[in-house]
Structure 1
């Protein structure tokens, strides 16, 4: 194989691994899968997640069950992914739209956020993980009270997503398991 083609193929495989990492993060967040989420970060990684985190990712991950407890719905969507590789490190600007339905003392409210993750990734022992993740909010739309209607007749008979192990996907899939990337 020509050396340039081999280099391009290796870069493509690395970019695919990083893309799968980013998508695994969304799945772990939306399903409240804390074991899976923890496996996506290097032990010394940094996470900057607004009011929730500015420091070691493991500290953020320790608080994540309490942060997500009032969230009845989390739905992260990746739209644009810009990646740049440099050996065993990479950077990414990841566009997202994330829906949050949150339970407060006053009832349910919605926050739809458009933003970006500014990521630094490192490949250690052959595995790409987050080394540094920062969230940037570009816009937000809030509805208080919530405008989400899971009881709408259009959804009649459909499976309804849930945070945690009760989500229908865990009973459906054999290969995509909870706690696994």
Structure 2
């Protein structure tokens, strides 16, 4: 295959991997998240967690339990390829609505993922991910109001299989990476 065409295909596959991570995180879809990492991959969330990605995913149900809303938005994607190895600096805006003992708060983080990817058995997956926060804004109490009359009757997203996307889509299925 033409090397330029292969590079485009590889970059597209990695971009889809990054977006699948955001979707799986936002929907609390831990089965799907596991598919995105190689078994020996690592994850570095700073003092929050550093170790094997599968161990981090094991802890996510408890970590995400108070998170009523997670919404990751990828902005800038910088990728560099070298055969079956790639690196990415991925800019992300991540919104969190979190329940606390005092009520709910909004946390908006602007940051980056420092990623290393490996293509094994023809499939790109994360081999290493580090999360960097560049800025954060906290609003307490939460400014989110899904009960406002302008929203009345709208389909509302939520974590987990009750999210409307799971009953709507046939191809974008729970626990599976987009093929």
- Fold conserved (TM > 0.5)? yes
1:153 aligned counterpart, secondary structure: coil
Q: What is the CA deviation profile of residues 104-157 of structure 1, one whole-angstrom value per residue up to 9, with x for unaligned ones?
A: 111111100000000000000101000000011011010111111111222122
2:115 is aligned with 1:116: no
Alpha-carbon distance in structure 2 between the residues aligned to 1:156 and 1:62 = 36
2:35 is aligned with 1:52: no
Correspondence 1:67-78 to 2 at 5 A: 67-78=63-74
Q: What is the CA deviation profile of residues 57-107 of structure 1, one whole-angstrom value per residue up to 9, with x for unaligned ones?
A: 111111011111110000000000000000100000000000000111111
Contact 1:36–1:179 (Cα < 8 Å) also in 2 = yes
1:165 aligned counterpart, secondary structure: coil
**Gapped runs of 5+ residues in structure 1?**
none
Alpha-carbon distance in structure 2 between the residues aligned to 1:21 and 1:138 = 23
Alpha-carbon distance in structure 1 between the residues aligned to 2:137 and 2:109 = 6
Residues 47, 155 of structure 1: CA spacing in aligned structure 2 closer, same or farther, 3 A cutoff?
same
Alpha-carbon distance in structure 2 between the residues aligned to 1:63 and 1:134 = 17
Provide TM-score, normalisation by structure 1: 0.96
4+ long deviations beyond 2 Å: none
**Gapped runs of 5+ residues in structure 2?**
none
- Higher mean C-alpha deviation, range 148-157 or range 75-84: 148-157
2:62 aligned counterpart, secondary structure: helix
